[in-house]
Amino acid sequence: MSTLFLQSETKNPYLFYQKNIAENPVYWDEPNKIWTVYSYEYCLEILNHRNAHIPAVSENNLNEYALKISRNLARLSNGVHHEIARETATVLFSFMKSVGVYSILSELFLENTSTEIDWVELICKKLPILAVLKSFDFNDNDSLFISENIFQLIKIMQPIKKSEDIEFINIASKEVFLVVENHIRTLSFYENLITTISTKHGISEEEAKSMLISNLIGLFIQSYDAGRGLLSNTLLNYFSEEIKFDKTDKTQIQKLVNITI
């Protein structure tokens, strides 16, 4: 049994996961030569075990900007560095402003010239990251540029990268890093946060700056990668025959939207 598949090409991926959680919570995928862990409890136990080995992300042939992002993102394999990065990401998250999703959705729908809507391409891949960008006051041009190039940057976390992936990662990482660097300097919390990170953790202000920029880019990557999955699966749930969601009940629909947000 192969464990790698596209959820979008499966009628009900939830049944697949439910079956494996019950029957194969830890499974060796022979065709792909990988272990697959379906149980959240087992995943947590493995990641937190003192003997767990989490391979470092391959950095071969990455340029200086890609290396800064890769080395500064919060990852369990980074040890103490992970604690600093996680704290930085958490503080950044706390500075996000509340933005109106309706206005972003309206703009996205206006972009659609067809009578049909590709939910994943039009909404799931754009709404979450645009919401994060707007919450940090990125202008329309920078928001558009980053949102259109972020799909290249998510490849930076792949353990093994193809040569063509590295080429695209290097181009995107440099351009996005410089855009974020120029913008983040204009934010009110920038100077104080750089000083705080540098002083508290005994690192240079230049290192603190790279940490800050990289983890803001990390929030973009997460919003794109996790956001598209969340919104896609929400829609799958909505139309699921097994769940039998009452599509005429406005209260239920409102609950679904609130939970998703």
Using the predicted structure, report yes or no on whether residue 78 has a pLDDT greater than 60.
no
Give whichever of 31-35, 195-199, 244-248, 254-258 has the largest mean pLDDT.
195-199
Average pLDDT over residues 245-259: 69
Contacts of 233 (CB under 8 A, 6+ apart): 7
Which domains are seen in the chain, by residue range?
1-52 (no CATH), 59-260 (1.10.630.10)
> How do residues 184-236 score in pLDDT, each as one tens digit?
999 999 999 999 989 988 889 999 999 999 999 999 998 998 888 888 777 77
> How do residues 99-155 score in pLDDT, each as one tens digit?
888 888 888 888 777 778 888 888 888 999 999 999 999 999 999 999 999 988 888
Contact (Cβ atoms closer than 8 angstroms) between residue 156 and residue 66: yes
Residue 159 phi, psi dihedral angles, 5° rounding: -60, -40
Higher pLDDT, 179 or 159: 179
Listed residue (112, 110, 93) closest to 102, CA to CA: 110
Contact (Cβ atoms closer than 8 angstroms) between residue 261 and residue 153: no
What confidence score (pLDDT) does residue 225 get? 85
What confidence score (pLDDT) does residue 205 get? 92
Listed residue (210, 226, 211) closest to 154, CA to CA: 226
Using the predicted structure, report yes or no on whether residue 75 has a pLDDT greater than 70.
no
Using the predicted structure, report yes or no on whether residue 45 has a pLDDT greater than 90.
no
Percent of the chain's residues with pLDDT above 70: 86
Listed residue (63, 54, 74, 62) closest to 161, CA to CA: 62
Q: How far is CA 51 from CA 46, 48, 92, 144, 222, in A?
A: 9, 9, 31, 43, 27
What confidence score (pLDDT) does residue 15 get? 79
What confidence score (pLDDT) does residue 258 get? 63
Tell me the two tokens of residue 9: 């090409």
Average pLDDT over residues 158-185: 91
For 115-251, strand residue ranges (E) read none
